[in-house]
Homo-oligomer: A and B are copies of this chain.
Amino acid sequence: MDTTRRGFLASTVAASGVAVTQNVAHGADDHAHDHQALPSDPVLRVKSLESLLVEKGLVDPAALDAVVETYERKVGPRNGARVVARAWVDPAYKSRLLADGRSALKEFGYGGATGEDTLVVENTPRLHNLVVCTLCSCYPWPLLGLPPVWYKSAPYRSRAVIDPRGVLREFGVTLADDVEVRVWDSTAELRYLVLPERPTGSENMSEEALAALVTRDAMVGVAQVALPQKGAQL
C-alpha cells in the first residue's frame, strides 16, 4: 500500500515537472526504476479519491451516478443513427442538417456537452469523410456517446491524417483510387459526424429500420453502412 502511494505520487510529481521518468541516471543496483512502477490498483485509488471528494463536500455521489448512468444508458450512437436515418428519408431535413448542423440537431433535442457545434459531413460515391482528433480525443458525445478505446489510441490518432486509406483498409473499407478522402481533425470546439451513404436496396425500409443499420463506426467514417443480409458489421 505504501509502495502504491509512492508510485502514485511520483507520477503526480513528475507531471508538475519536478521529476522525469525517463533516462534518469540510475545506480548500479538499478532500484531507481521504482518510480516507473505501474500506477497500481486504480480501483483503490479512485475509491480513496471519491471518499475524499465526498467528505470535503466537493461532489455529490448521486450526481456522479447520474453522469455515469447518462453515458452508460442514455447517450450513445443510437442518437446519431436517428439523425442519419431522418436525413436519408427526409431531403429537407438533410439539407438543414448539412447547412446548419446545430439547429437541425436541436430538432432532436441533441446538443450540450461538446455537441453544440457539430458539423455533419456527407459521404457520397465520390467522397469519403473520416473524423479524428490527433491532439486528444474530441468526439461528438451527445450524438455518439463516449468514444471507443481505438478512437482515443495512438495508432488511430497518429495515422488517420497521414494514411487515412491505410486506416480504412484496416477497418475493412477499401476506397477506389479516385475517391476523394477528407479527414476532419477536431482541433477546436467543433465536432464532426459523418453522414454515411444510404445502402442500396434500403429504398423500402422505414426510418426506424434504417436507424438500426447505422453504426457508430459508420458515423466516425471508418465503416460503411450495409444491409443486414450483406454480412455482419463490425
Residues of A near any B CB (own CB < 8 A): 20, 22-25, 30, 33, 36-38, 41-43, 149-150, 152-155
A192 to B38, CA, bound (A): 39
A25 to B152, CA, bound (A): 11
> Which 7 pairs, one residue from A and one from B, show the smallest C-beta to C-beta distance?
A23-B153, A25-B149, A22-B154, A23-B149, A33-B38, A36-B38, A23-B154
B22 lies within 8 A of A42 (CB):
no
Tallying the copies of this chain within the complex gives 2
Question: Which residues of chain B are near A41, meaning CB under 8 Å?
Answer: 30
- What is the distance, in angstroms, from A54's C-beta to the closest C-beta of chain B? 23
A43 lies within 8 A of B30 (CB):
yes
- What is the distance, in angstroms, from A218's C-beta to the closest C-beta of chain B? 20
B23 lies within 8 A of A42 (CB):
no
A155 to B41, CA, bound (A): 30
A153 to B25, CA, bound (A): 10
Question: Which residues of chain B are near A152, meaning CB under 8 Å?
Answer: 23
Interface CB pairs A-B, < 8 A, 19: A20-B155, A22-B153, A22-B154, A22-B155, A23-B149, A23-B150, A23-B152, A23-B153, A23-B154, A23-B155, A24-B149, A25-B149, A25-B150, A30-B41, A30-B42, A30-B43, A33-B38, A36-B38, A37-B38
Question: Which residues of chain B are near A30, meaning CB under 8 Å?
Answer: 41-43
Interface hub of A22, A23, A25 (most chain B Cβ within 10 A) = A23
- What is the distance, in angstroms, from A135's C-beta to the closest C-beta of chain B? 15
- What is the distance, in angstroms, from A81's C-beta to the closest C-beta of chain B? 23
Question: Which residues of chain B are near A153, meaning CB under 8 Å?
Answer: 22-23
Question: Which residues of chain B are near A154, meaning CB under 8 Å?
Answer: 22-23
Chain B residue at minimum C-beta to C-beta distance from A149: B25
Chain B residue at minimum C-beta to C-beta distance from A29: B43
A37 to B36, CA, bound (A): 10
A20 to B150, CA, bound (A): 12
Question: Which residues of chain B are near A149, meaning CB under 8 Å?
Answer: 23-25
A77 to B20, CA, bound (A): 27
